[in-house]
Amino acid sequence: MKSPALVVDAGWVNGLAAIRSLGRAGVHVLALDHRPSALGFRSRYAQPVLTPDPQDEAAFVSFLEGLELEAPAPVFATHDEPLNAIARAASRFGGKFLYPFPSWDVLGRVQTKRGQLEAAEEAGIPIPRTAYPSSAEEARAAADDFGFPVLVKPSSTEGFKRRFLRQAFRCESADEVAAAYADAEPYEPLVQEVVPGGDEELYTLGSYVAADGEALGLFSGHKLMQVPPGVGTCRVGEAVWVEEVVQQGLALLEAMGFHGLSQVEFKRDPRDGAYRLMEINPRLWQWHGLAAACGVDLPRIAYADLTGDRPEPVSMNGRRRRWAITLWPGNPPAPQRPPYTDAVFSLRDPKPALVQVARQLRR
């Protein structure tokens, strides 16, 4: 019997893309989310499963313990909170789940910005100038040294975005730095220079690395538009192979002992042409659907490997192909030159797009 698969946090396009990838392959997909409005619940390929909010980690983990499955199931998290909760509780699940990520002793370090940046420095990979202050005064001093604007980022990201509706604070003055530090203090804030250049300078390695270290799927691309601009999430992306990005990303994952699904993001610094580390997302990221459109279907590759049907390694074949969230509530439409991959619209699975259009019209 083919194993089922869990897509955890199916509220947005990264979950929807995973549901479709697996469902089209004939996998029974359980779409888990704590919101009845989750976009992935509208897919014809998903069996909706309403869960407790992962912020209530004890209730969420207990719910997963009680799931009845016909076979061990690969579990694909699309956001950090459920990913971390599942990894921390893995010993409680026995053999119920199969994981496209390492154990918590490795993942826990990967899930801190400081751990990522320190590992990159040790591996000789460029990073932005960064300080790890222990007080607001030290944060102000670091910002003065770097020059404004600067970013105040959480090292520990769990809960930060949900609380502040952003990934970092962009600060134009010392007073703003002090205020941002105070807000971010529970999340181990760091101060970082703003690398020059627009959103189109943000480059990604998307990959699935097997437990023995072999890369079974490789994708490379860059963003063309973020929401919000500067520090946000991808709205338009383009496939482009950059060997330096691929090699630096793989070297960093190896240095951290990471295997599984991930996105490693860099920003090309126009001052010297270096690709500086922005972050590692050790899970399915927002625009992994573009990788699938370029022949690197990462959820399906991971599923096959985890269930004992290891595939041959593949690299992307769709250079310059684009992906976009054409309709985004509260923002103008962003159509691209055809052919491109829309994050929501699908002739074979039309209901999520109809729901998205209805939500757009209501606004």
Q: Where are the beta strands (DSSP E) in 25-72?
A: 29-33, 46-50
188 pLDDT exceeds 90?
yes
Q: What is the mean pLDDT of the chain?
A: 96
The pTM of this model reads 0.95
Position 1 scores a pLDDT of: 55
How much is the average pLDDT of 314-336? Answer: 91
What single-letter amino acid sits at 182?
A
351 & 226 share domain? yes
pLDDT tens digits along 145-174: 999 999 999 998 888 988 998 899 999 999
Position 359 scores a pLDDT of: 87
166 & 217 share domain? no
Position 172 scores a pLDDT of: 97
160 & 252 share domain? no
Please, what is the end-to-end C-alpha distance for the chain in angstroms?
A: 45
Here the CATH number for the domain that contains residue 256 is 3.30.470.20
How much is the average pLDDT of 96-100? Answer: 98
How does DSSP assign 306-348, residue by residue?
Answer: HTT-PPPPEE---TT-EEE----TTS-----SSSEEESS--TT
How much is the average pLDDT of 19-47? Answer: 97
How much is the average pLDDT of 93-103? Answer: 97
311 & 325 share domain? yes
Within-domain flag for 109: no
Residue 354 pLDDT level (bands cut at 50, 70, 90): very high
d(CA 324, CA 356): 14
213 & 346 share domain? yes
306 & 339 share domain? yes
112 pLDDT exceeds 80?
yes
247 & 140 share domain? no
CB–CB of 354/344 below 8 Å?
A: no
170 & 207 share domain? no
148 & 266 share domain? no
Q: Measured between alpha carbons, how far is residue 166 from residues 122, 210, 229, 312, 326 in Å?
A: 29, 32, 11, 38, 21
14 & 51 share domain? yes
140 & 187 share domain? yes
Instruction: Give Rg (Cα) of the chain.
Output: 20
Domain that holds residue 77: 5-102
Within-domain flag for 239: yes
pLDDT tens digits along 193-252: 999 999 999 999 999 999 999 999 999 999 999 998 888 899 999 999 999 999 999 999
Number of domains in the chain: 3
Here the CATH number for the domain that contains residue 72 is 3.40.50.720
Within-domain flag for 123: no
d(CA 79, CA 71): 24
Position 158 scores a pLDDT of: 85
Residue 329 pLDDT level (bands cut at 50, 70, 90): confident
Nearest to 100 by CA among 71, 73, 76, 67: 76
Q: Edge-to-edge strand order for the sheet containing 189-193? A: 130-131, 189-193, 150-154, 169-171
pLDDT tens digits along 304-323: 999 999 999 999 997 889 99
Within-domain flag for 114: no
179 & 215 share domain? no
